Amino acid sequence: MSQDRKQAALDYHALPRPGKIAIEITKPCNTQQDLALAYTPGVAEPVRAIAEDSANAYKYTAKGNLVGVITDGTAVLGLGNVGALAGKPVMEGKGVLFKRFAGIDVFDIEVNAQDPEDFIETVVAISPTFGGINLEDIAAPHCFEIERRLTEQLDIPVFHDDQHGTAIIIAAGLLNALELQGKTLAAARIACVGAGAAGLASMRLLLALGATPGNILLVDRKGVIHSGRDDLNQYKREFAVDTDRVSMADALRDADVFIGVSGPDIMTADMLLSMAPRPIVFALSNPDPEIRPEIALKARNDLIMATGRSDYPNQVNNVLGFPFIFRGALDVHARTINQAMQIAAVHALRLLAREDVHPEVLKAYNLNTLEFGPDYIIPKPLDPRLMDFVPPAIAKAAVDSGVARAPYPAHYPQPKT
């Protein structure tokens, strides 16, 4: 980043007042009567109501529209373990996206807790405040245990976006790309480079959607994760296969799909040329992808490609998922965000990309035309119809799978199918 852009980023966060988010008052506070209702003595009435029935917290407080965005600062962006406080700008930014795209309020919480047990204990202790918890920028493998334990202990949705948000957007785009390339998920040979939170969650979701276990080769820094290795943790061992392929190049040979959630410039043109006809390349390392689109498209003209960047077609962007997933979950007072809800989000996004592109989207991106095809397999983040597609799908899946405490909202449209 140039010096000018660095300064612009710092100025954006500092001026005219520090930070990106604030709290607003939602009720009149202009008279003595207003203050008597807002605080003592009037506030005692909702206190009594909630003490009698905890479900009344959704009726009388902001809990039902409030998400905690919580980090320990151990895996912030691509910057690594910078600490909880240094992660605060990212957590505030997540709050901006929740509010901008789905009208959801956020408290960002930065927890000084390098020990997962301390982190879990802290989040459990503060959980009554929230209708849902978005875990963010927590390093693998601790993130898996943290999310599992919190999901088991709490009766509100706990969602690690670096895992499931990424997985949902990848899966939605991949299903569309496979169809365009005349392939199926069940038959596709998939090489995934990167065995952290995003890679493992994405492969689990693809298996749930119908991928064939033996067709997935997961690659970490030491090469293909195979059954002959004795250095695998329990999460990687889940994907160990019997194979004589050991390197990334081996994994890519004859593969239909490459999913990169690892690091920049690790895929060569020769590796791409070794893939099967009509390949699909999701090079998602940010800001520099595993292979640059200019290199990939020069090497092959039969591929479909996605990146994590907004300046190329097919951006895999988590903002397509988490605000709208939480919107649907909060509106039915869901106890969790389960796999059925994640799959519902995948299909909602997959279907939206097939719709005629909204004029508002064309204007926002300065485009004359855009249609479902190799350069448009995933909806654009500024598509206003995301609210019509994803929250209804999430809410219906929550109700149908028995994790909702409130009925399907009357003001919602019927889910798209």
Beta-bridged to residue 224, according to DSSP, are 219
Q: What's residue 114's pLDDT? A: 82
- Whether residue 286 has pLDDT greater than 90: no
Q: What CATH architecture applies to the domain 164-307? A: 3-Layer(aba) Sandwich (3.40)
Per-domain residue ranges of the chain? 21-60, 164-307, 318-400
Give per-residue pLDDT as tens, 323-353.
999 999 999 999 999 999 999 999 999 999 9
Do 225 and 190 touch, CB atoms closer than 8 A?
A: no
Question: Kind of pairing, strands 223-224 and 216-220?
Answer: antiparallel
- Would you give the distance in Å from CA 377 to the centre of its chain? 17
- Residues 107-166 have pLDDT tens digits of 999 999 989 999 999 999 999 999 999 999 999 889 999 999 999 999 999 999 999 999
**pLDDT band for position 1 (50/70/90)?**
low
pLDDT of residue 5: 85
Cα–Cα distance measured from residue 294 to residue 276, given in angstroms and rounded to the nearest whole number: 20
Is 59 noted as a catalytic residue in this protein? no
One DSSP character per residue, 246-285 reads -SHHHHHTT-SEEEE-S-TT---HHHHHTSPSS-EEEE--
Closest CA to 328 of 228, 395, 378: 395
In the chain, % of residues over pLDDT 90: 90
- Comparing CA positions, the residue from 151, 141, 113, 101 lying closest to residue 335 is 151
Active site residue 222: no
Measured CA to CA, the distance from residue 95 to residue 284 in angstroms comes to: 23
Task: Give the CA dihedral 307, 309, 313, 318, nearest 10 degrees.
Answer: 80
| Given the residues 12, 27, 39, 88, the one annotated as active site | 39
- 292-303 residue pLDDT tens: 999 999 999 999
DSSP 106: E
Give the whole-angstrom CA distance, residue 177 versus residue 158.
30
Residues 75 and 83: beta-carbon distance below 8 Å: no
For residue range 63-105, what is the model confidence (pLDDT) as tens digits? 999 999 999 999 998 788 999 999 999 999 999 999 999 999 9
CB neighbour list of residue 7: distance below 8 Å, 6 or more residues apart: none
| Phi then psi dihedrals of residue 329, to 5 deg | -65, -45
Higher pLDDT, 1 or 130: 130
Question: Between β-strands 257-260 and 280-283, what pairing exists: parallel, antiparallel or unpaired?
Answer: parallel
pLDDT in tens, 28-73: 999 999 999 999 999 999 999 999 999 999 999 999 999 999 999 9
Is the per-residue pLDDT at 415 higher than 90?
no
Catalytic position from the list 94, 236, 380, 396: 94
First to last CA, the chain: 43
